[in-house]
Each structure stands twice: as structure tokens, then as C-alpha cells.
Amino acid sequence: MSSGRLIWIILVVIMLPVNAQENDVIIIRNADSLIGKRVDGENIRELIGNVVLEQNDIVVYCDRAIHYPARNSAFLEGNVRVVDDTVTLLADEGFYDGNERILDGEGNLFLDDGVTRLTANYGKYFIDEKIAEFWENVIVDDPAGIVYSDHLVHRREQEFSTATGNVRVVDRERGSTVYGQLLEYDSHTGSSSMKDSPVLVHMDTTAVGRIDTLIVKSKIMESVLEDTVRRFIAEDDVEMNRGELSARGAKSIYFVDNDELNLTGDPIMWYQENQITGDSIHVRLEEQQLRTLEVYRRAFAVSKSDDRYPDRYNQLTGMELTMWFANDVIEKIEVRDQATSLYYLYEEMLPNGVNHVTGDTITLLFIDGELEELKIVGGIEGQYYPERLVRGRVDTYNLTGFRWIEDRPEISIPERPIVHIPIGERME
């Protein structure tokens, strides 16, 4: 056989797949140069410069490719770009399996489906299933915010993602971040669930320029968006801090836009030196300052009467209790329905007995945080117990349901910093 005929046969073998019409075959549409090789008994094609490959509706662009016709696959290198309908995927290099229709990408991985953008170090895109799985330094840029994690599975058709490992969800509009280890996120509804000891951090700047930070931790935390109202729901061993306000309970619901908080499940709340308990507690803030604190059913407020006498506590109880604040200082407390007050007296800094008073409604008025006046309305009954009866028997005067809890929650912000990466620039 002449050398000219042999070269012609080799060229036919090399170029035959270029015009193939089978739907499941990778087709070479363009390359500046093509080199045919046989490696370990397998025919391969090295494509260099402006490489374009196609398979059905998939178009692949890169600087260099190694095409494996028998395996219907290709190694891709340099400015890799894969286009699938509305999805664009970029990478430094990758491997495309035409039989399984799976793209493996590595290095500066970027996926944009027109709504959500994802970046990572490594990843796979399952074309037919429309599923992206990314690893290492994963960032999801969604209209609702940014999600950081070590691993992510994003299901495009369901608009549902699962992120694991060092997860952070940043709400750019409201200035909140949720930390955890397992996130399930529905981008269609804008709702999410964080598990494995999540922590919510929400920062606000008050009218006087002070930064107040709300920190909430629990075992399960959800972010729910209904009728444009955003709620953070924390359940199971809930603890929280915000300035001088701390709380603990089984469940809390925080209304972000209204700056309101509900706490249920044997809730306990501390504000400055006051401890409040009840069946449920509702907190309202205005311009990032505490305005009202409402307690429903079995309401009980306790405060130390004097630091020099640590066993003496002023106490208020009733079915409902409301506290009003101005500039973070108590202005008024009102107890309603079976209201009872226990108030210790002092004269020249020495203890002088205790007052026990009941009525339909008890109101306490404060000036600069100090009790100025006590008012009682309806069914008034009162008793003063002199110091000689109280001394050494203080515990016997405590109201029914009294308890003082020392282990006030102290929660710190997770150490991992929030870093905003301009991933939109990856498309340039």
C-alpha cells in the first residue's frame, strides 16, 4: 500500500466523527488544528485552538481538548465553557462524558442558570438531571442572598439546594447571617432550614448610632418567607442575646421586618437585672430599641432588691404582664389579673421588712430606672411584714412560682468572618 493511500485512510478515520449525525455522539465543530494519535491501542484526537464540540443541545468551548471517540468523551482544558440552554458553566479544565452526559469541572468553577450563580473549586454537572454538585469554597449567589459551604447539591428543576460543611447564609438586604452545618434551601419560595446547631446573627444600627446584634442559637432554624413577611423560626434549646436582653426557651419566632420576637416553651427572659418568665413572651422593638415586653399566662418578673442582700428579690406575678421602655430604660410595668407584688423596703440602706400586695391590676412607674410610684386597682389587699419577722426567713415570703436562674445565656458570634466575593465578575 502506498504511503499516500495510508495517509488518506488515517485522515478518514480521524475526521469521520466530525460530520456524524448520531444524537449521542460528540461532534467536533471546530479546531485550529487536529492531531490524530493512537495511545494504548485507542484512537484519540488532540484539538488545539478555538475548540468547539457539540452533542445535541450541548455546546462546549475550550482552548484545547483530547477527544476519545470510542469512549464518546473529551478532556477539556483552558477557558472551558459549556452551554446548555439557559445554563452556562465555566472552568479552567474539565472532562465531559458524552454517554452519561456529565461534566466534571475543576478550577474557578462557575455556573449561571439565569437565576442562581454558583462558584467552587471542583464540581459536576449532570446535564439530563439538571443537577449541579460542587465542592470546596462553594458560593451560591441567589436573589435572596449568598450561601457559603464546603459542599452543595443544586437541583435546578426543583429550585432546591442542600449545602453541608461550614455553611453560612447571608441576607444582604436585612444584614443577617445564619451559620450551621446542614442547609436545605428552596430558592423558589425563598425558605430555608438550617440544622446541626445553627446560629443566627442579625445586626442593627440604632437611632443613636449604636450597633445592636441579635444572636440566636438552637438545634433547628428555619427562614420562612410568606406574603413578603420574613420570619426566622428557631426550635429546640433556643438561646439568644441582644444587648442587655437575653432569653431561653423551646421555640422562638423572629419577625425581621417588624423587629418583633415571640418566645414559647417555658421561656425565660433577662433584661438588665430583671428576669421574666411565663407561658409566652412577646418583644417589640422600634428603631432597634426595646419598646414593650409582654408576658402571657403565669407571668412572673423578678429583680434583685439590693446587691448587699442577695437573697431578697422584688417580685411581680399575674396572668399578664407588660413592660414599657424608653431609651432602653424601664418606664412602666403593669400586671393584670390576679396581680401580686412583693417589694422589699430599706431605710438608710438597712432592710426594713417587705410589702405583700394583691389587686386586679398593679402598675409600677419608674424614673431613670428607679421605682417612683406603685398603683393598685381593684380588690386591693396588702400586708406589711416588719424586719423582725423577715430576717432569717426571707425564703418563706417568696411568691408561688418564684425561681431565680443564674446561668444567663452568653452566645458569641462564630469566628469565621463574612467575606463577600464579587462572583459576578467571573462572567467578564
Residue finishing a domain among 76, 92, 112: 112
pLDDT value of position 12 = 37
Q: Does the residue 63 lie in any domain?
A: yes
Residue finishing a domain among 112, 131, 157: 112
The arithmetic mean of pLDDT across residues 65-83, rounded, is 95
Between CA 340 and CA 263 the distance in angstroms is 23
pLDDT value of position 23 = 56
Domains in the chain, number:
2
pLDDT value of position 48 = 96
- Nearest of 60, 70, 155, 82 to residue 116 by alpha carbon: 155
What's the pLDDT tens digit per position in 113-169?
A: 887 888 999 999 999 999 999 999 999 887 777 889 999 998 988 888 899 999 998
Q: Does the residue 305 lie in any domain?
A: yes
What's the pLDDT tens digit per position in 27-63?
A: 999 999 999 988 888 899 999 999 999 998 899 999 9
56 with 38: CB under 8 angstroms? no
**CATH number (domain holding residue 97):** 2.60.450.10
pLDDT value of position 187 = 77
Which amino acid, one-letter code, is at 10?
Answer: I
- The verdict on 103 and 241 lying in the same domain is no
What's the pLDDT tens digit per position in 285-333?
A: 887 678 999 999 889 999 998 889 999 999 999 999 999 988 878 899 9
Parent domain of 342:
232-408
How does the average pLDDT of the chain come out, rounded? 85
Q: Does the residue 140 lie in any domain?
A: no
Residue finishing a domain among 85, 112, 139: 112
pLDDT category of residue 428 using cuts at 50, 70 and 90: very low
Q: Does the residue 73 lie in any domain?
A: yes
Q: Does the residue 202 lie in any domain?
A: no
pTM of the model: 0.77
Phi, psi at residue 194, to the nearest 5°? Answer: -110, 130
Q: Does the residue 159 lie in any domain?
A: no
Which amino acid, one-letter code, is at 97?
Answer: D
